Amino acid sequence: MADLAILGGQPTRTADYPEWPVHDERDVQAVAEVIRSGQWGGYPYPGPRTAEFIRRFQELQGGGYGVAMVNGTVTMEVALRASDIGWGDEVLVPAYTFQATASAPMAAGAVPVIVDIDPQTYCIDPRAAEAAITPRTKAIIPVHLGAQMADMDAIMALAERHNLIVIEDCAHAHGAKWRGRGAGTIGHFGSFSLQSSKTLTAGEGGILLCRTPELAARAASIIDCGRPHDPEEKQFTMGANYRMSELHAALLLVGIERFPEQARQREEMAAYMDEALSEVPGVRVLKRDERHTTRSFYRYIFAIDPQVFGVKHDVVCAALEAEGIPCWEGYEAMHHYELFQPKLSRLPVPSAFPQAFAFENMDLPEAERACEAEAVWFGENIFRAGPQGVDDAVNALKKIQANSAKLAEALASRTQ
């Protein structure tokens, strides 16, 4: 086996993986048409292109009443506010997710309660969530992470038992389905990011799918400076300008045309990746729940056994990068996350509820294991590079595993 590239050998892959976002003259034309129209902004809401994007996205996910917004963080804040969740209410969030999942409740005046994850999927553990419920708990935000979905059967049963609002964080789950139902249409709300790295993107943006027209009207009022959006146009609320622009909607209408074929490519190659990775010693492919009928591949996450590799995932990722395979070790556990430091703010919630942010007292072993030692993330572009793209990634990992003793020895010598 050849020497590892990180130790001076030749890399496994020298060709670049496909770039993202994909664009062509259709995107330029779509934006140019908006510019010529003179209607660039989102007022009156929704603009014609925004309304058409909402309709198309509802079709893609198979339901819901959509409200398009400026990003996929404010979508969660708006969902909480539309549900009358606010000051001092508790919202359950998983320990393994982007900081936005926990910061959105704070923006609504609520307290995020961080709970552990299921080691088989890296999504929120429904049992840990139920154990964290108190009389102040009003909502739960399950995150569909990487190519996985949270156990929505268990989450909805939990919500029914305890009268909780369910806000699905679907930032990674465009096109995903659970028992044939689209992600974001199972709970009371589904929050989707349209940020530049997401598999459907306008650079920035978000869309919230709501279970009922009434919830959608409340959400639309909140994001439209409080203007009424109920049929009688009488229900004013306290709002702000979180509207989507027509420029963003134009790009999304082109992107959503490309989406089905891109999703097909990713899903086909990810199934190939599942099989190939299962043959690599020390690699654990995350469990595919049979109820998760259609996967989405913004990121593909698997676990390495540090005992087999002799090093933790950050070193494996560095070695993969040297082999020409882009990857990442993933988020930090929320109670250790550098981007989530509420005590550094002057926001009311951490000041009023300091016990909720006593991170040093939190015991979240599964999240810590994933975040500090195991998880390896591949990007969606690996799955748009055909079988060779997958083969190169798997072969690089096999090469690292076969040379793990050398890698561990080199690491040890550098740290002495």
Q: Which residue intervals of 234-289 are DSSP H helices?
A: 246-277
pLDDT at 156: 98
Helix (H) or strand (E) holding 65: strand 65-69
The reported pLDDT for the residue numbered 69 is 98
User: Tell me, what's the pLDDT at 416?
Assistant: 61
The rounded distance, in Å, linking the Cα atoms of 57 and 61 is 6
Residue 330's Cβ-side half-sphere holds a number of Cα atoms within 13 Å equal to 30
SS3 122: coil
- Whether the Cβ atoms of residue 198 and residue 208 lie closer than 8 Å to each other: no
Q: Domains of the chain by range and CATH?
A: 5-18+259-332+367-415 (3.90.1150.10), 25-255 (3.40.640.10)
DSSP 3-state of 326: coil
Q: Where are the beta strands (DSSP E) in 88-131?
A: 90-94, 111-115
pLDDT confidence of residue 34: 98
Give percent helix, percent strand, percent coil of the chain, each to the nearest 5.
45, 15, 40
CB 369 within 8 A of CB 313: no
- DSSP for 213-227, please give it: HHHHHHHHHHHBTT-
Rg (alpha carbons) of the chain, rounded to whole number: 22
CA gap 232, 221 in Å, rounded = 13
> What is residue 93's three-state secondary structure?
strand
Place of tokens 């009023």: 352
Rounded to an integer, what distance in angstroms lies between the CA atom of residue 400 and that of residue 393?
A: 11
Q: Which residues, listed in sequence order, are joined to residue 303 by a DSSP beta bridge? A: 284, 375
Tokens at 404, concatenated: 């793990």
91 token code pair: 């919202």
What is the CA 52 to chain-centroid distance, rounded? 24
CA torsion sign, 333 to 178 to 193 to 257?
positive
DSSP codes of every residue in 129-187: HHHT--TTEEEE--B--TT----HHHHHHHHHHHT-EEEEE-TT-TT-EETTEETTSSS
Tokens of 20: 């993202």
Q: ∠ CA(96), CA(266), CA(303), 5° rounding?
A: 35
Model pTM score: 0.97
Q: How does pLDDT run along the chain (416 residues), one tens digit per residue?
A: 469 999 999 999 999 999 999 999 999 999 999 999 999 999 999 999 999 999 999 999 999 999 999 999 999 999 999 999 999 999 999 999 999 999 999 999 999 999 999 999 999 999 999 999 999 999 999 999 999 999 999 999 999 999 999 999 999 999 999 999 999 999 999 999 999 999 999 999 999 999 999 999 999 999 999 999 999 999 999 999 999 999 999 999 999 999 999 999 999 999 999 999 999 999 999 999 999 999 999 999 999 999 999 999 999 999 999 999 999 999 999 999 999 999 999 999 999 999 999 999 999 999 999 999 999 999 999 999 999 999 999 999 999 999 999 999 988 887 76
